[in-house]
Structure 1
């Protein structure tokens, strides 16, 4: 009989301990799916690791929740909801089953009678089992949402969890403008904080500490809607309510990729006025940009100050130059001699001209040296143009293999190969490439190993892509073929 000395506890069965050890060793999921309850046939049960079933189980249904205890990572909490229209029995023993149907955990509990509605005292009853494991990392819940009930607490928590994952966050009272100590009640942007104020921290020297916080007299904690990685994702958006400089501004998290809170550097950008399209920005007011150093030659925006400095320098330099339209040079002007072969607007000195003439071969009988190049005429072109190596390569394209082909400048194509044909039958053989215009002829010959073993064969071209071959003998054989076309 249950009294003040009775002990109630939950343990893994021997089967459960073995399965958890296997899951931990192999790193594979261990799916706990169902919970069973029983009345122990009226006895006071004591859980045993050797149990494989309850003493008298009267109900087994899928779990509605399986989670790690937030206060103790070694404790697993399993939960099942028994609806009001089931019962009429006592609950003295509880068991958990995995996806294989094996009982992996067992517990006893203080006797509880689950009445039926017809008894005038029906109720929905939640049954929970807490049990200790070595490692909760590989334990998963496998449920059918269509047949499982959920407690109001479970639903409320799930709704909050999903809301906290949204990118649009609850506004903050103030935001930082410089690095701060994340502790104590202080003034930010002229706003004197009180305990519980939400704060956007965005200017920490160590950017991984940026984020949304709750102000406190002691150490600040991250806001509950931004205190885990799943709740802090790229494009997170938050508005600032008060502040001398940041009131009514909106800030977006522009850190891309997977974010690990407390490790990844977080960068927030002011998007109060939105963005101008990058392809055709329509800027308003008087936009400004940093002035690049003199001589900068990049895609950086040129400010009016940069342009004016360039103009002044050009005016000063022009005073020492001849007019571009009709320069009147005096004395013996000199210039840098361009490299041989240069073909630009650079001045050609007398030395450049003399060197260029010395490099030319006589027109009548040029003796070319090195590796001279020339334009490659189009394939099929006939004339007196220089025939380059590429020209020959293009005109004589081929494939040298057991089944290959060779093209010629005239358009003629020769193809060859081997095939097999069944006894007293025919086969279709496809050319390595299709004749662009037509196949003219194909010759086939039987493969012979000795005199007198040659068999009669015939063949017929089918269009430009294939031919048919026939074999008149009682055994299958191998043959060779050669085709001509253009």
Structure 2
């Protein structure tokens, strides 16, 4: 099918001169105004020597002046004819610069632009493509108050909005989950901190097999505790001799320390929370939290009960002896 070339756009002699002169002066040609004309009542063939339309029926500002991404030498002029104007035929279109010079003129396929009074509300978009020798001589501009959107543009935008909304929903879900996880972890730490007996001290037996070679000090072993702090007091007791050993350790993080020794030996390592109040330490009875030297550890309580039992048994024995002696005397 042959292309209909009955309707076209030409650059006027004034327009050619201005565009050519822009290369010398550096003053770019700016397309500012658009004029619609009815051709004086019929179609005609525009000429390059024209300096004005035959009969202007409407004038407004050009919306956007851009380049064609697929054709570098093409300038695209877009304008919106508002629904508030109409009641005329369109057969010619003129493009003017900021000095009201007619730069380009189009032979437009005859159409009627209705008015609101005639019962039709129509926004009309006019798009013209100009081929120029040097696009750099043309001033490109976009009017932010005029928006052009095809159905595909709107559909693409809706798709992008849907994608963004999905990402937002996903991010909100992940954020909510992360917040809840952080809250749970924080509450757990708070519970541990305020529950004196459960976050006061920790005891761990370091067995022979727990030691690993260390180039600096012979051997090292890791003690993992639940005190959630690096402010700690460490006491180390030889599990066999029960003698106190001078602590040689390094704090790794809030939950672990690394102890060092020149030889492999079984040790009882007692880690005490330096933030805990003294009465919490004295009150606990959990041997996994405190040492045997703690005032009220279960070991101390057991020893005390045995002592009381011995005294009671001794008292009962004395009473029995006294009763027997009384019976014998009687």
TM range (shorter): 0.3 to 0.5
- Which structure has more helix as a fraction of its residues? 2
* TM-score normalised to structure 1 length: 0.30
Over alpha carbons, which structure has the higher Rg? 2
